[in-house]
Structure 1
Amino acid sequence: MYTNYILVFIALVILFSSFVTVRQGTIAVVTIFGKYRRLLKPGLNMKIPLIEVIHSRVSIQNRSVELEFQAVTIDQANVYFKSMVLYSVNNPDEETIKNVAFKFINEQNFMQALIRTIEGTIRSFVASKKQSEVLSLRKDIVDHVKDQIDTVLESWGYHLQDLQINDITFDEVILTSMSRVVASNNLKAAAENEGQALLITKTKAAEADGNAIKIAANAEREAAQLRGQGIALFREEVAKGMTHAAKEMQTADLDTSVILFTMWTEAIKHFAENGNGNVIFLDGSSDGMKRTMEQMMSINVMDTITDKKKKS
């Protein structure tokens, strides 16, 4: 009776071991006595109990790993990288899955090879560049790694989906010197901008002063012309008035010297009002007044002739 129970137990174990569940996104690799046999797709599968063995389960989903390592530039500067690698199985084909399952002893060996390959590729690239160039070559580093790694990963059955360099840093001394260089460049640029602004300000001020001088000169010239025209008109009107007055007095049989005396007294009055305390010597004799008036009349006549010539 005990034998029957044992046989039933063994039958149940064999029956249940014949069913295999494979998770979504995973492919199971089956071997017989250590030799590759077939693949099991996601879902419920059957295998030969005690003979077929699940060698490994290969994930075809995207996987990521973070890297932190150091490189040295051509000018002996230490550069520290923090990056993220995104990779996956190249495709779910049978040959690819076999390659992934049997290329490395285990997953740890594959990860070690992947990390060291990426680090070595970046180090060799950085070793040919100067420290001042590294920060601006982030995209070039990524492109270089992808070009170098893709072929190697495909031979392992994998594909590099993405490589992101999240952080690039240097030693504290280098960071301090870089900050000083940036600060000095900013100060230089600020000084150049201030110099240009000052030059523009000075230029505009000089142009404004020049325009003001031109405007003042033009205004003074126009004012002088107007003053000259006013004096000419005044003299002309005075001459006309004196001529008319002389004719009227001759018609009335009066002495024209009264006109000279009146003008003489008006002139003395004007001198007294506007002389500002200055001493002015005048010839008060009748001959002196007559001579002065004749000179004024002759000057007026000459100005009148000159104005007529200019107008013609």
Structure 2
Amino acid sequence: MITSLVLLVAALVFVLQAVRVVPQQSAQVIERLGRFHAVLSPGLNIIIPFVDRVAYRHSLKEIPLDVPSQICITKDNTQLKVDGILYFQVTDPQRASYGSSDYIMAITQLAQTTLRSVIGKMELDKTFEERDEINASVVAALDEAAVSWGVKVLRYEIKDLVPPQEILHAMQQQITAEREKRALIAASEGRKQEQINIATGQREAAIQKSEGERQAAINTAQGEAEALRLVADATAHALTTVGTAIATPGGLEAVNLKVAEQYVDAFAKLAKEGNTLLLPANAGDIAGTVATALSVIRKTDRPQAR
């Protein structure tokens, strides 16, 4: 009975040692009698107890690695504190186990030396502008070396670039001066545009005013010309009508009467409107004066009578 129980326990231990369950995105390296034998894939696996053993366990997930900050010297001899983070993934568990005694340390050290080399080829201003180029250079150098370690370097990102305080102060002054310069340029451009707009407006207003004055003068001249024409036409029509009336029978007698009436009215008005009275030399001979005026009318009318 005791023997059976011992055998049962031994069998149970043997089964437990023979069965290995590997989680997803994980890998286990098996050594048989101290020599690499196999890599267990995720799921249920069977090994030989006391002959095979799990020597290494690896995670196949993407792993972020914080690269310690370091002081780098730029091309223009400026100290720059650089801090970054690295992302890698184990792609070959066998090489990751035997290719390097500590692939994480190897990746970290290589990332730091590569970063110092890349920063040393750039000036300070370029390091802030060319972050993508720096990241790509570090990834390319690491990926080439990490192949023998069974690791794939996915990307490298610079978290922070910190120059000395003196450089930061100088950069801040430069940025302030540049902003003030842009503000002055913008203000001068605004004043320039304002003067251009004012001058353009004044020129257009002067043009519009001159056009208005020109049109007003044309309209006035046309109105005066039309008025003169109408007066001339009316005068000509009146003269024609008078001449026609004189040529008719009895017309001359009517003119005699009209002239005599106007002559008498004119002298009457002179007597009422002023203290000074102007009289013609022959004021006593009104009939003679009227006869003289009628003789002028007869001379003027004589060609029409013919």
TM-score (norm 2): 0.68
Q: Say if 1:12 and 1:188 are closer, same or farther in 2 by CA, change over 3 A.
A: same
Q: Which amino acid is the alignment partner of residue 111 of structure 1?
A: I
Aligned length: 256
CA–CA distance in structure 1, aligned partners of residues 196 and 111 of structure 2: 59
1:21–1:44 Cα contact (<8 Å) kept = yes
Q: Which of 152, 156, 168 is matched with 2:149 structurally?
A: 156
Q: Which of 99, 103, 107 is matched with 2:99 structurally?
A: 103
SS of residue in 2 equivalent to 1:63: strand
- Which residues of structure 2 form unaligned runs of 5+? 247-251, 270-277, 281-306
Once the two structures are TM-superposed, the CA of residue 113 in structure 1 deviates from its matched residue by 1.1
Does structure 1 residue 131 correspond to structure 2 residue 127? no
Q: What residue number does 2:30 align with?
A: 30
Larger-gyration structure (1/2)? 2
CA–CA distance in structure 2, aligned partners of residues 238 and 40 of structure 1: 126
Q: What residue number does 1:140 align with?
A: 133
Q: Say if 1:104 and 1:9 are closer, same or farther in 2 by CA, change over 3 A.
A: same
CA–CA distance in structure 2, aligned partners of residues 45 and 218 of structure 1: 102
- Which residues of structure 1 form unaligned runs of 5+? 91-95, 266-283, 287-312
CA–CA distance in structure 2, aligned partners of residues 235 and 24 of structure 1: 114
1:68–1:80 Cα contact (<8 Å) kept = no
CA–CA distance in structure 2, aligned partners of residues 31 and 241 of structure 1: 136
Q: What residue number does 1:217 align with?
A: 210
Identical residues among aligned pairs (%): 20
Task: Identify which range, 138-147 or 16-25, moves more after superposition.
Answer: 16-25
2:96–2:103 Cα contact (<8 Å) kept = no
CA–CA distance in structure 1, aligned partners of residues 113 and 153 of structure 2: 16
TM-score (norm 1): 0.67
Q: What residue number does 2:182 align with?
A: 189
Q: Which amino acid is the alignment partner of residue 177 of structure 2?
A: S
Once the two structures are TM-superposed, the CA of residue 239 in structure 1 deviates from its matched residue by 6.4
CA–CA distance in structure 1, aligned partners of residues 56 and 10 of structure 2: 25
Q: What residue number does 1:83 align with?
A: 84
Task: Identify which range, 218-227 or 131-140, moves more after superposition.
Answer: 218-227
The correspondence of residues 218-233 of structure 1 with structure 2, limited to 5 A, is 218-232=211-225
CA–CA distance in structure 1, aligned partners of residues 174 and 28 of structure 2: 58
Q: What residue number does 2:60 align with?
A: 60
1:50-83 CA-to-partner distances (Å, cap 9, x unmatched) read 3322211222222111224232211223333333
Measured on the aligned residues, the alpha-carbon RMSD in Å equals 3.7
CA–CA distance in structure 1, aligned partners of residues 155 and 118 of structure 2: 18
CA–CA distance in structure 1, aligned partners of residues 211 and 167 of structure 2: 65
